[in-house]
């Protein structure tokens, strides 16, 4: 298909879906492509194609599937420039500062999944009878539906579909509507790598229509979703009874204790708040700063923001932060900042949409002081470029605010006393805690997800943990082998 005209990819063929939608750049406001998305019937056709391809794909050895994923990774690396540019056009993240990194990380995900699949082992548990042997191996579920978000269009989909494929499942991928064009460009690259028809299928379109039809289809046995807590709850309900990996939202605190290295903490705050313009589930959404160092930390963060963050055209090599992806996210940024100011917070820098750009989606990097725990910005997930500073009296007070939140995805704590940092980390109700590093620091092979009892999801993404989620134990019981006389069994 032409690079400005995309559709659905089903059973190895590109098809024009019934819903034609322009892809509009959040930085220029101009339409640069057309995506011919699908509907519920299209999603059903993709699931059926995946189900038909599933047995032959599952029958390949792990090493044969790994070879396919290695080819896919090579294809991604080869198309690095094109994939990064359309990612910047479609999503808005800076080309030099972030887009190339996301493409490179996707290639790593594909290679890691390939390697992990070849290491998936089984067991030979004992039987109650000496006359029997028991074999247990992990087998694929069949068809896995993957629904992914717009903030990291390549890697958030890839961290689910790469291990699902490597484990022997066929996949139906439903991307976020606002980044369907770059997602389709990626599918073109993956399709060129030689994946068998029907093994990997792609249906862009509205989540409540296409995503709902895919995850609820009777032939889908596993569901992977990354996105908001509200949508995740709907997905979980529709996918009831199926294997699920749900990585949902966060309101991660970054805690700065009185003995912290403030230069390190201020630098980490920029990464926590402004990476991907703050549009990350691992973003530092609250900065809980102990009273003794509050003033100095605030001064350092404001100065670091002023000097270190360059908001601008995402194609400019000097730009470190681009626009927000969509108006709904930008409006939430406005609402949260406005609510905080109305309740007594002080804007230290930023606080509004930036002027002088082609669209109104550019939000100024913002630091707020005098934020209280009851304000919307301290309770909800903002998904914007803001450092809301909450002054606390002690580490215990910071821990209490951390654990009071219904979210439980990430947290970070800064202290020069590593024993103190470990004590905080072990008591923090979060699935992932960093000590002396930004909330946005993570390693893709490690288990990542929401803490049990929180609204931040279930299951874990990351390396082999996704492969295990999208496989299941298969038990075979057979008679014990016995030595036979040489003449036995001969005619």
Catalytic residues: 247, 281
Backbone φ and ψ of 10, nearest 5°: -135, 130
Q: Are 155 and 139 in contact (CB under 8 A)?
A: no
Residue appearing with tokens 């605010």: 401
Q: What b/e sequence results for 425-442 when a residue is b if at least 16 CB atoms lie within 10 Å of its CB, and e otherwise? A: beebbbbbbbbbbbbbeb
The pair of structure tokens assigned to 137 is 């191996």
In whole angstroms, what separates CA 11 from the centre of its chain?
A: 26
In whole angstroms, what separates CA 232 from the centre of its chain?
A: 13
CA distances from 93 to 34, 276, 347 (A): 20, 6, 25
Distant-in-sequence, close-in-space partners of 261: CB < 8 Å, separation ≥ 6: 414, 416, 436
Backbone φ and ψ of 346, nearest 5°: -115, 130
DSSP state of 276: G
The pair of structure tokens assigned to 9 is 């990819």
DSSP state of 265: H
Q: What gap in Å lies between CA 238 and CA 232, rounded to an integer?
A: 10
Distant-in-sequence, close-in-space partners of 440: CB < 8 Å, separation ≥ 6: 271, 272, 275, 280, 282, 283, 284
Based on its alpha-carbon atoms, the radius of gyration of the chain, rounded to whole angstroms, reads 24
Residue-wise DSSP of 57-124: HHHS-HHHHHHHHHHHHHHHHHTHHHHHHHHHHHH---IIIIIHHHHHHHHHHHHHHHHHHHT---B-
Angle CA(121)–CA(125)–CA(130) in degrees, nearest 5?
140
Q: What gap in Å lies between CA 298 and CA 31, rounded to an integer?
A: 40
The pair of structure tokens assigned to 199 is 């093994």
Total residue length of the chain:
491
Number of helices followed by number of strands (H, E) in the chain: 15, 20
């Amino acid at each position: 298909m032409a690079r400005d005209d995309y559709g659905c990819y089903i059973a190895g063929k590109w098809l024009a879906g019934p819903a034609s939608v322009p892809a509009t750049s959040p930085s220029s406001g101009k339409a640069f492509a057309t995506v011919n998305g699908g509907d519920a019937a299209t999603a059903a056709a993709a699931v059926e194609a995946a189900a038909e391809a599933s047995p032959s794909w599952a029958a390949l050895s792990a090493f044969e599937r790994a070879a396919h994923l290695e080819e896919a990774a090579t294809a991604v690396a080869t198309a690095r420039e094109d994939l990064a540019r359309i990612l910047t056009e479609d999503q808005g993240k800076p080309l030099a500062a972030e887009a190339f990194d996301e493409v490179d990380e996707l290639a790593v995900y594909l290679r890691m999944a390939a390697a992990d699949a070849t290491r998936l082992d089984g067991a030979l548990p004992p039987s109650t009878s000496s006359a029997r042997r028991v074999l247990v191996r992990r087998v694929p579920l069949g068809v896995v539906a993957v629904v992914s978000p717009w903030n990291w269009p390549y890697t958030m989909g890839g961290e689910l579909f790469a291990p699902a494929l490597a484990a022997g499942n066929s996949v139906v991928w439903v991307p976020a509507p606002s980044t369907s064009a770059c997602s389709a460009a990626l599918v073109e690259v993956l399709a060129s790598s030689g994946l068998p028809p029907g093994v990997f299928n792609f249906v862009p379109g509205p989540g409540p229509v296409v995503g709902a039809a895919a995850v609820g289809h009777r032939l889908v046995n596993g569901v992977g979703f990354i996105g908001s807590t509200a949508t995740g709850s709907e997905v979980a309900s529709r996918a009831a009874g199926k294997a699920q990996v749900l990585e949902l939202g966060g309101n991660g605190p970054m805690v700065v204790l009185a003995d912290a290295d403030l230069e390190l903490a201020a630098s980490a705050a920029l990464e926590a708040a402004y990476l991907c313009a703050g549009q990350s589930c691992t973003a530092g959404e609250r900065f809980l700063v102990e009273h003794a160092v509050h003033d100095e930390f605030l001064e350092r963060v404001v100065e670091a923001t002023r000097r270190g963050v360059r908001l601008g055209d995402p194609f400019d090599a000097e730009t470190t932060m681009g626009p927000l992806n969509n108006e709904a996210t930008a409006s939430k940024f406005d609402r949260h900042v406005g609510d905080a100011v109305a309740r007594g917070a002080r804007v230290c820098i930023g606080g509004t949409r930036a002027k002088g750009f082609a669209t109104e989606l550019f939000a100024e990097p913002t630091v707020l002081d005098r934020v209280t725990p009851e304000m919307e910005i301290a309770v909800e997930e903002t998904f914007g470029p803001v450092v809301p500073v909450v002054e606390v009296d002690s580490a215990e007070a910071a821990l209490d605010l951390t654990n009071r939140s219904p979210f439980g995805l990430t947290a970070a704590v800064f202290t020069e006393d590593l024993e103190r940092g470990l004590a905080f980390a072990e008591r923090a109700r979060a699935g992932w805690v960093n000590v002396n590093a930004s909330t946005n620091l993570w390693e893709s092979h490690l288990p990542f997800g929401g803490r049990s009892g929180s609204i931040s999801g279930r299951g874990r993404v990351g390396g082999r943990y996704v492969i295990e989620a999208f496989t299941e134990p298969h038990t075979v019981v057979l008679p014990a082998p016995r030595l036979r006389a040489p003449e036995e069994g001969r005619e």
